[in-house]
Structures are given as C-alpha cells and as structure tokens.
Amino acid sequence: MSFTLYVDPGTCTANGACTTACPEQAITGGYGEIHVIGLDRCTKCLACLSACPTGAIRKAGPIKPRVPTAPVAVGSFGAEDAEGGMRRRRRRGE
Ligand code: SF4
C-alpha cells in the first residue's frame, strides 16, 4: 500500500529528533516549531518514525489529515484546524 508520512501537529514537541535523523534533510522546523515533512524530498526510509520520542511521525494513506504546510509554533495548530479539512459544515436550509 502506498503511504506518505506527516507530523502530527498535536503530538510534535519540536525536539528536533526527526530533523537530525533524516538523511534527506526533508524535514523543516526549528526548536519550538511543529515540524513539516517535505514530501518532494522524502524517500520513506522511516528513520524519522523510529527517531521521534513522542511518536509524532505518522503514516497516512489516501486520506491525509490537515497539517501545517510550513513550520508554525507548537500549540498554534489545534485540533479544530486538523478537523477542518475532514469535516464539512452544513448550512441552514441545505
Ligand atoms: S521517512 Fe526518511 S526521508 Fe522521509 S522524512 Fe522521514 S527520515 Fe526523512
């Protein structure tokens, strides 16, 4: 099965373990920022998956969760942001 990797914004503590482990320099984000995996550079070697002490690196199948597209401060991307891409609100009268 095909998959991609992403950083769970609610679990990432921005400790930098994944950026250090990545041999492709595919992960951006400094200390204090939710990290972002650049899928154009990622070779799916899974080094970051085993390096992350908080389990923030996740696999995604065809349906990908909404995550920051660039590094943002830890705590600034909440659960509502993540769910916003998955849910559609029904308007009154529809
Ligand atoms: S799977 Fe490998 S190449 Fe992709 S982001 Fe993780 S460490 Fe980097």
Give domain 4-75's CATH number out of 3.40.50.720, 3.40.50.300, 3.30.465.10, 3.30.70.20: 3.30.70.20
What is the spatial distance between Cα 62 and Cα 23, in angstroms, rounded to a whole number?
25
Find out whether 33 and 9 touch, Cβ atoms under 8 Å. no
- Calculate how far, in angstroms, residue 50's C-alpha sits from the geometric centre of ligand 1: 10
pLDDT of residue 64: 82
What is the spatial distance between Cα 80 and Cα 24, in angstroms, rounded to a whole number?
31
Whole-model pTM: value is 0.81
pLDDT of residue 17: 96
- Calculate how far, in angstroms, residue 88's C-alpha sits from the geometric centre of ligand 1: 32
Tens digit of each residue's pLDDT (9 = 90 or more) over 32-57: 999 999 999 999 999 999 999 999 99
